[in-house]
Amino acid sequence: MRVLVKVEDYKCLETLEIQAIGYDPDLFNSKDRGGIPVDGLSFQDMEGDWFYIKGISNIMCDNICRTIAKEGYAELDMYGGYEYLDLNADQEENQE
């Protein structure tokens, strides 16, 4: 599966090969979240790293997932830039 995404810090586009994609209601490491979880679309690249695009609703994620399952490709650049999802940060917050 491939996705076209906007790179948050560089304002450019790139295509990523991914192995998993879906809605996540508890994205806890957004830079501007202020301690409040945000929801959005998360996806895993072929190296096993997770990324997310915040603010995409469950319904929109469902439509995106249907498109990528059907066509093997989805354009996500219109939803904003993607960010690295640091799963270790979530575990560290839970331990504190």
Q: pTM for this structure? A: 0.82
Residue among 18, 22, 14, 16 nearest 39 (CA): 22
Tell me if residue 70 falls in helix, strand or coil. helix
The ranges assigned to domains in the chain are: 2-95
- How would you write the pLDDT of the chain (96 residues) with one tens digit per residue? 999 999 877 779 999 999 999 999 887 654 555 666 778 999 999 999 999 998 899 999 999 999 999 999 999 999 989 988 877 654 454 445
